[in-house]
Structure 1
């Protein structure tokens, strides 16, 4: 059972890092630090968008508009850690 929990924890941690990388890359593109027309940057950005957008889009529809500030990655990270801790408590309690 601990191997499954370890895998679950590792997948959540990996997805959190992907969310952070996606947010940082979007900031770098917006502030013209990296060129979005570069094929490597474009392919990394496309990968990050395809992995994160299906989960972030429903959150963005629910959250109120904060005037250009996107807090959906932060909310998703908090939800992921909450779910992780909840699963660990349920397993430890049984």
Structure 2
């Protein structure tokens, strides 16, 4: 059981940092257009696009959807661990 939680935590941390790096890369267009930027975009953008549909940028320029997406991801991981703890 502990191994499953460790794997879930590791996957969460990896995806968290992928989102964080992708958001930081958006400040430097040359980096975002690189191979790594495009790869991260293909992995992260489908998840972020869910939140971007419902959360408009503040003032037209400040996109807070990644923050909400990371909070939702944390709730998802916590819920998954709770469900697994009850049933396993």
Short-chain TM bin: 0.7 to 0.9
Unaligned runs of at least 5 residues, structure 2: none
The alignment of Structure 1 onto Structure 2 pairs a total of residues equal to: 85
1:51 aligns with 2:31: no
Q: Which structure's relative contact order is higher, taking Cα pairs within 8 Å and 6+ residues apart? A: 1
Query: 8 Å contact 2:57–2:64 — kept in the other structure?
Result: no
Moved over 6 A (4+): none
Larger Rg: 1
TM-score by length of 2: 0.81
Within 5 Å, which residues of 2 pair with 1:1-94?
A: 1-29=1-29, 36=30, 42-66=34-58, 67-92=60-85
Alpha-carbon RMSD: 1.9
> Which region of structure 1 is more displaced relative to structure 2, 79-88 or 7-16?
79-88
